[in-house]
Amino acid sequence: MRRVRRRGARFTARSRALTALTALAVAGTLTAGAAPPGDRAPAKPPEKTPVATGSGGAVSSVDPDASAAGIEVLKQGGNAVDAAVATAAALGVTEPYSAGIGGGGFLVSYDAASGKVRTLDGRETAPAGADENLFREDGEPVPFDEAVTSGLSTGTPGTPATWQRALASWGSKPLREVLRPAERIADEGFTVDETFRKQTAENADRFRDFPASAELFLPGGKPPRTGTTLRNPDLARTYRELGRDGVGAMYRGGIGEDVVRTVRKPPVDPDAERKVRPGDLTRADLRGYEALEREPTRSEYRGLDIYGMAPSSSGGTSVAEGLNILENSDVGELGERDYLHRYIEASRLAFADRGRWVGDPAQEDVPTEGLLSQRFADSRACLVDDDKALTSPVAPGDPNDPQPCEPGDAPAPTTYEGRHTTHLTTSDKWGNIVAYTLTIEQTGGSGITVPGRGFLLNNELTDFSFEPAVEGVHDPNLPGPSKRPRSSISPTLVLDDGRPLLALGSPGGATIITTVLQTLTNHLDRGMPLVDAIAAPRASQRNAEETEAEPALYDSPLRKRLEAMGHRFKETEEIGAATGIQLLPDGRWLAAAERERRGGGSAMVVQPDD
């Protein structure tokens, strides 16, 4: 691999980014309005726009009602943390198959007053009675599809505890206030779009087997039509209870009792033929749950500081390793084929190491510092051939004792992770920023709605390895008592000399890591405006035989040029659904979201530019 001098790299990355920003600002951008005045919900959702610039703070999410909820809180004097919780709560209404109080997530924030980056690990935990055989019966792994739709796959929810800890530590408003926009949307309803209708149809067979899910999501026995209004009064009441009684209602009160009852005895339709295994979640598991404040991961790329989420998520270490592998090649000057080749190989190697080393640090010896080190990345980067693709699965390296170009031992395959998480980014007039990714695992989670409560339970425990990935090699992601399964969630902040440059994240299971990595390099190295970097066709290599590619890349001549180097591809409809926020040089905010994926995202600012 050709090596380039690092001297001047800071200027190169920063100048490319600022050039892109300036061009976008001068050219003018789309803007979005804030939430409507008063207490009444809009008859129709605000118009979706993928990019907005202005002042006073910003919100970007996949959904216009949710983004408007965050903007409403900012307009009422709330800060970025308040807005993040408000947006997340609204997504629990309008994106219930991706997020909600039955799940968990990871939050990264920048505090303008102190200049510090802070993180919360709100990952779900296994029951205290779980062991490494959680998903094994008669010596064999439980079939994955059966594990997904079960109480067995449900971990202790972490989202309510994350909201409470974030607000108590860094917010400015009480939970009851930031939940009000979401309560209103749940009470009065939201407009069903094509993405929601399609996701409901994909889950219809599962939902029919659980009366509470069928009643809520299949009105009249069918998926709701696009353009109709869907209400969730049960969730509105649940939010009001949380606002009134605090999150103790989940961890020590009535909401939690209903969750435990539902997990331990899933309410299945008597006529259903589906085998639905119960789980072992207890009230003690709920009482013992804690959202953890962790030190963020930190690495340097082209003179910029990259902050992310430390284990139990693999996002921060894997994004950092991918960037570190690319550090010594000037990918901004490469042609499209050579850039994609380098990016794909960096992803492949990072995933090889992730699978071997990352798990819950409370129960595993995770070499986080080694995984973040440039020395380790350099020992892996020298495996990359500029003219030929590596063959997956690639064996991991050893971050505890990096040896240049060492081929490694047995490779660990990448475990499956559900892709329909959701991500939001917020900022405020004081300069605070939040990147928050939350999830209930795959689309529709476990498929089981808690009766009378209006939210779905997660199936996050399927992120554990069902059996050791490699025989005879320790797997750090096997289940264990109160253990957090490994995640790929990658909320990321980029700072330049202590000043925030951008915040970024995406849903997408294990493709989250590659989405964030590709978007960062498209923007920082290749000079794309953030909204264009988000929209660019994606590829995702996760140490598999084939690299997933979206149609725009799969159907292009570029694929054949990469295949001539030994790359193998398979087509996938879409990868990720990113959102980001950027602080412009003049102090204004730029919010960016998807143009088309998941029907397009929703970027808004408090005071849009004219």
- What is the phi/psi pair of residue 443, to 5°? -55, 120
Helices (H), 57-136: 64-75, 80-94
CB 231 within 8 A of CB 420: no
Distance CA 319, CA 351 (A): 10
Helix (H) / strand (E) element for 288: namely none
**464 and 125 Cβ atoms separated by less than 8 Å:** no
CA–CA distance, 374 with 530 (Å, rounded to integer): 26
Count Cβ atoms within 10 A of the Cβ of residue 185 and give its class: 0-12 exposed, 13-18 middle, 19 or more buried.
buried
- Asked if 45 and 65 count as a contact pair (C-beta separation under 8 A), the reply is yes
Catalytic-role residue among 31, 49, 162, 421: 421
Query: With contact defined as beta carbons under 8 Å apart, do 517 and 480 qualify?
Result: no
Q: Are 20 and 529 in contact (CB under 8 A)?
A: yes
Measured distance CA(244)–CA(386) in Å, rounded: 60
Alpha-carbon gap, residue 11 to 571, rounded angstroms: 37
Q: Which residue has the tokens 């059966």?
A: 146
User: Annotated catalytic, 94?
Assistant: no
What residues contact 337, with CB distance under 8 A and at least 6 apart?
Answer: 558, 561, 562, 565
Select from 506, 501, 475 the least CA-distant residue to 489. Answer: 506
**Sequence-separated (6 or more) residues with CB below 8 Å from residue 267:** 210, 211, 212, 448, 451
- Among all residues, which ones are annotated catalytic? 421
